Amino acid sequence: MSKLLLIDDEEDVRYSFQRIFDSPEIEIATASSGEEGLKVIPKFKPDLVLMDVRMGGMNGLETLRRIRATNPKLLVILMTAYGTTQTAIEAMKLGAYDYLLKPFDAVKIKELVGNALKAARDMKQVVSYEPMLQSEDYDLGIVGRSETMQQVFKLIGQVAASDATALVTGESGTGKELVARAIYSHSQRSTQPFLAINCAAIPEHLLESELFGHERGAFTGATLQRIGKFEQCNKGTIFLDEIGDMTPPTQTKILRVLQSGTFERVGGNQPIQADVRVIAATNKPLEAAVAAKQFREDLFYRLNVVRIHIPPLRDRRDDIPLLVNYFVKKISREQQQHPKSIAASVIKTLEKYHWPGNVRELENAIRRAHVMAKSDAILLSDLPPEISGQGGGGAAIPVAGTAGEAAASDAASLARQLFQWARRDPKLKIIPAVERELVIQALKETNNNQVHAAKMLGITRATLRKRIDKFGILRELNVK
Ligand SMILES: Nc1ncnc2c1ncn2[C@@H]1O[C@H](COP(=O)(O)OP(=O)(O)OP(=O)(O)O)[C@@H](O)[C@H]1O
Ligand SMILES: [Mg+2]
Instruction: Find out whether the beta carbon of 174 lies less than 6 Å from any atom of ligand 1.
Output: yes
CA of 284 to the centre of ligand 1 (A): 16
Ligand 2 (ion): residues with CB under 5 Å are 177
Ligand 1 contact via 172 beta carbon (within 6 Å): yes
Return the ∠ at Cα 424 (arms to 437 and 281), rounded to 5°.
65
Question: Which atom of ligand 1 has the smallest separation from the CA of 168?
Answer: 21
Instruction: Tell me, in angstroms, the distance from the centre of ligand 2 to residue 443's CA.
Output: 32
Q: How confident is the model at residue 83 (pLDDT cuts 50, 70, 90)?
A: low
Average pLDDT over residues 291-297: 93
Ramachandran bin of 392, using left for φ above 0, alpha for ψ from -120 to 50, beta for the remaining angles: left
Rounded Cα distance between 157 and 142, Å, is: 13
Ligand 1 nearest-atom number relative to CA 170: 21
CA–centroid distance, residue 169 to ligand 1 (Å): 12
Task: Tell the residue nearest (CA) to atom 29 of ligand 1.
Answer: 360
Give the residue-averaged pLDDT of 174-184: 95
176 lines ligand 1 (CB under 6 A): yes
| Atom of ligand 1 lying closest to residue 281 CA | 22
* Range in 14-28, 72-86, 307-321 with the lowest mean pLDDT: 72-86
User: Ligand 1 within 6 A of 280 CB?
Assistant: no
- What average pLDDT does the structure give for the chain? 87
Helix (H, G, I), strand (E, B) or coil at 210: helix
Ligand 2 centroid distance, CA of 147 (Å): 23
| Lowest mean pLDDT segment, chosen from 121-130, 178-187, 376-385 | 121-130
pLDDT at 397: 38
Q: Is the CB of 437 under 6 A from ligand 1?
A: no
The predicted-structure confidence for 398-407, as pLDDT tens digits, reads as follows 333 444 444 5
State residue 476's pLDDT score: 67
Tell me the H-state helices in 21-97: 34-44, 60-70, 85-93
For residue 197, which ligand has an atom nearest its CA? 2
pTM for the predicted model, two decimal places? 0.75
Q: Is the CB of 283 within 6 Å of ligand 1?
A: yes
Q: Which mutation among 139, 243, 315, 360 tests ligand 1's pocket best, with the greatest number of atoms within 8 A of CB? A: 360
If residue 471 lies in a helix (H) or strand (E), which one and from where to where?
helix 461-471
CA of 286 to the centre of ligand 1 (A): 20
The partner residues of 214 in beta bridges, in order of sequence, read: 226, 266
Flag whether pLDDT at 302 surpasses 50: yes
Is pLDDT at 376 greater than 80 in this prediction?
yes
State residue 472's pLDDT score: 83
Rounded distance, CA 112 to CA 125, Å?
20
Ligand 2 centroid to residue 142 C-alpha, Å: 14
Mean pLDDT on 24-53: 95
Q: Is the beta carbon of 359 within 6 A of some atom in ligand 1?
A: yes
The verdict on the CB of residue 169 being under 6 Å from ligand 1 is no
Does the beta carbon of 311 sit less than 6 angstroms from any atom of ligand 1? no
Q: Which residues pair with 75 in a beta bridge?
A: 48
Hey, which of 174, 241, 362 would you mutate to test ligand 1's pocket, going by the most ligand atoms within 8 Å of its Cβ?
174
Q: Mapping DSSP to helix (H, G, I), strand (E, B) and coil, where does residue 36 land?
A: helix
Whether pLDDT at 313 is above 70: yes
More confidently predicted of 445 and 49: 49
Per-residue confidence (pLDDT) for residue 29, from 0 to 100:
95
Residue 134 pLDDT > 60, yes or no?
Answer: no
pLDDT band, residue 126 (cuts 50/70/90)? confident
Tell which atom from ligand 1 comes closest to the C-alpha of 142.
Answer: 3
Which ligand lies nearest the alpha carbon of 156? 1
Ligand 1 pocket residue status of 168, Cβ below 6 Å: no
> With contact defined as beta carbons under 8 Å apart, do 76 and 62 qualify?
no
Distance 105 CA to ligand 2 centre (A): 30
Confidence of residue 130 (pLDDT cuts 50, 70, 90): low
What is the Å distance from ligand 1's center to 442 Cα?
Answer: 30
pLDDT tens by residue, 188-206: 999 999 999 999 998 887 8
**For every residue of 121-156, which 3-state class applies, written as one string?**
HHHHCCEECCHHHCCCCCCEECCCCCHHHHHHHHHH
**Domains in the chain and their CATH numbers?**
2-121 (3.40.50.2300), 127-311 (3.40.50.300), 314-388 (1.10.8.60), 405-477 (1.10.10.60)
Ligand 1 neighbourhood includes 173 CB (under 6 angstroms): yes
- Phi and psi, residue 98, nearest 5°: -170, 175
Sequence-distant (≥ 6) Cβ neighbours of residue 130 within 8 angstroms = 153, 157
Locate all alpha helices (DSSP H) within 105-247, ordered by sequence: 106-124, 147-161, 176-185, 204-212, 229-232
Contact yes or no for 148/121 (Cβ under 8 A): no
- pLDDT exceeds 80 at position 59: yes
Ligand nearest to the CA of 358: 1
Q: Which ligand is nearest to the CA of 323?
A: 1
Model confidence pLDDT, tens digit, residues 84-124: 677 878 888 888 998 888 778 888 899 999 999 999 988 88
pLDDT digits (tens, 9 = 90+) for 262-274: 999 999 999 999 8
**Ligand 2 center from residue 412 Cα (angstroms):** 22
